[in-house]
Amino acid sequence: MTEQVFRKCSLLLSLAAWMTMPNQAQASEPLERRGEESDRVFLPGNFFTPAVASAPSVKRKPSLASVPSLEQLKLIESLTADQSKRLNELFRDYKSDISALQAELKGSPDAAAKASLQARISLRQNTLMEALKVIVKTEQMDELERKKKGMTSDSEVENLP
Amino acid sequence: MTEKLKGQQIRHLLRRAGFGFTPAEYLSYRDLDYDEAVERLVDFETEDNSALDALIESQNFDFTSGDDIKRWWLFRMLFTRRPLEEKLTLFWHGHFATSLKKVRNPYAMYVQNRLFRKLCIGDFGNLLLAVSKDPAMIVWLDNQQNRKGKPNENFAREIMELFTLGIGHYSEADVREAARAFTGWQVKNGVFSFNKGAHDAGKKLFLAESGNFDGTQVISILARHKQTGRFLAAKLLHFFLGPNFDRALLNKVAGAYEVDRQIRPMLKTIFLSKAFLSRENQFSLVKSPCQYVVGTLKHLQISTIDGDLPRLLSAMGQDLFAPPSVKGWDGGTAWLSSDTMMARFNFANRIIGEKMDALKKQGSLKDLLAEKGIDDQGTCVAYFLQLLVEGDVPPPVVKRLEDYLGKEPFLKGAESKTLLDERLRGLLHLIMTLPSYQLA
């Protein structure tokens, strides 16, 4: 622990010292001279260039089924107070059930028991989705879907007089 | 100007006006004159960015998820063909700091972010008007509660203190009068709504002008105020050039605003100034965590963003969509603390590990190094110092890095494969933890 703190302090001190002497290296060695080598190192084909470029992507954990969260549902603008109250109750029970099942799953000893619990979790998710369909109208779910996809109705730029 | 000097200046420009560069990006700029490079970066609307739109579509981001909107923005920073557009969006996010932690609506924050991007370089008055009507901003600064007879002064105060004039250029009476003008500016069903019943339409005296002002008229007075130009000029200079600029340059940048409130000519004035290009200014700004992370991914030519990157950025002190206060991020040396530096170093360690594992799959490190003409400790250290920090380190540090690689003949013998791998990873990590790597 002491060693860790010491290391952190040393790092900060050295950086602080560097910052108080900006461009120390540059001052002693003009940029023009430092740049005497060709700029090939910055061009395609340098050490870090992959042999085959892979497509840009984001690595994410797969989400649990397609069950919307309560917070997401609350983003539906046309949700009434009554719908909101019913959703709160629905999710209170759902979260309680799912937490218990997931705790069981975590402590489950064998693959068969795990599979059985996974099935019960899926079933509970399905019952939640069925209950949601009763509370939230189709057009309201569509509104949420549009938001999830980032669809907006960008207004025209208003010019300030 | 020599080709080498021009190359250095263009790389400096790509670091400051963007987040660094991949080799392909540098290649596409290096044959331009410096002025042409500035034009291309600043007049970014001419760059076709449709490939980015298609890439984003393919990632299925969920814009109602706080984590996903952060990933979406990092993705944009990394793969856009308009780096200044994203850098300016980040600037405005800090200027008009709004936090998910209070707004609690990722979609509204996403909509606000789009607004920053759309209006980032044009008429500041239009941007200010749009931000003042933005649902996330209205919630963030409590204008929903600003009603006739019960004014809430939060928004009125911040629009002067933080968005336009700065402290010392308005009075408490101006705050009260402006708050009256913004009464009734609310959000209804997720969009801006003017609540006439809650609006105070009476006469106001604001910054020595009087009339039955509404919010738009107050914004108009603020946007054409000379001090607004100076305030914005100072903030833009701090962000893009750093704290060391003289009054003459400040006046020049502010003067560019006064013509017609446009941000674009202010930026051109900054990027074309001698101070921006001066030797002292290069590698003198502490990288923000976004700059550090996105720049590193570009340097190492990594095209996959880890899902937990927003969490790592937060550990470095920059939680996107959640600035620490209404003042945004302080920037500069405030980025540096023992905890945030360790977070940077841990990120560097992890990203080097991923990159080296990938490189080893495409061939032996020995061959990869040999292809680049690296055959001893000296050439190895020089190559990576040049690539990562443009050689900006004192000679004793170079010596220590060479010593780190060891005394035994470099790249000799199959038995040294593991050692070579370990030392190379170590060398890259050491360089990326150097003070110069924290600077742009």
Using an 8 Å Cβ cutoff, are B435 and B281 in contact?
A: no
State which of A34-43, B73-82, B385-394 shows the largest mean pLDDT: B73-82
For residue range B304-341, what is the model confidence (pLDDT) as tens digits?
999 999 999 999 999 999 999 999 999 999 999 999 99
pLDDT of B407 reads 78
Provide the token pair at B421: 């791998």
Which residues lie below 8 Å from residue B93, measured CB to CB, with a gap of 6+? B113, B116, B320, B321, B323, B328
Q: CB count, 10 Å around CB of B335?
A: 22
Give A-chain residues touching B394 at CB under 8 angstroms: 24-25, 28
Regarding pTM above 0.95, the answer is no
Q: Letter for the amino acid at B418?
A: T
B161-178: per-residue pLDDT in tens? 999 999 999 999 999 999
What is d(CA B253, CA B273) in angstroms, rounded to the nearest whole number?
Answer: 10
The 3-state secondary structure of B175-219 reads: HHHHHHHCCCEEEECCEEEECHHHCCCCCEEECCEEECCCHHHHH
Predicted local distance difference test score (pLDDT) of residue A15: 57
pLDDT digits (tens, 9 = 90+) for B244-284: 999 999 999 999 999 999 999 999 999 999 999 999 999 99
Provide the pLDDT for residue A27: 38
> Which range has the worst mean pLDDT, A102-111, B328-337, B405-414, B416-425?
B405-414
Residues of chain A with pLDDT under 50: 1-2, 5-6, 9, 20-36
Q: Residue B413 — very low, low, confident or very high, per pLDDT cuts 50/70/90? A: low
Query: Can you spell out the DSSP letters for A2-56?
Result: HHHHHHHHHHHHHHHHHHHSTTHHHHHS-HHHHTTS-GGGGSTTSTT--SSPPPP
Please tell me which residue of chain A has the smallest CA distance to B7.
A39
Q: Does B11 touch chain A (CB under 8 A)?
A: yes
Q: ipTM greater than 0.85, yes or no?
A: yes
Q: Write out the two tokens for A25.
A: 């290296």
Indicate the pLDDT class of residue B418, thresholds 50, 70 and 90.
confident
Across residues B60-66, what is the average pLDDT?
A: 96
Residue B152 pLDDT exceeds 90? yes
pLDDT band at residue B390 under the 50/70/90 scheme: very high
pLDDT at A36: 44
- Residue B249 near residue B400, CB atoms below 8 Å: no
pLDDT band for position B419 (50/70/90)? confident
Tokens 């150097």 — which residue? B434
What residue type is assigned to position B334 of the chain? A
Q: How far is A127 from chain B (nearest CA, A)?
A: 23
B1 touches chain A (CB under 8 A): no
What integer pLDDT is reported at residue A35 of this predicted model? 42
CB within 8 Å: B119 and A157: yes
Q: Is the pLDDT of residue B41 over 60?
A: yes
Query: What pLDDT shows up at residue B3?
Result: 85
Q: B321: left (phi > 0), else alpha (psi -120 to 50), else beta?
A: left
**Could you tell me which residues come within 8 angstroms of residue A133 by beta carbon, excluding any fewer than 6 positions away?**
none
Are the CB atoms for B227 and B233 separated by under 8 Å? Answer: no
B7·A22 Cβ contact <8 A = no
Residue A21, pLDDT score: 46
Question: Of chain B residues 304-363, which have a CB less than 8 A from chain A?
Answer: 304-307, 333, 336-339, 341-342, 345, 355, 358-359, 362-363
Average pLDDT over residues B111-140: 98
Spatial distance between the Cα atoms of A147 and B64, rounded to a whole number of angstroms:
6
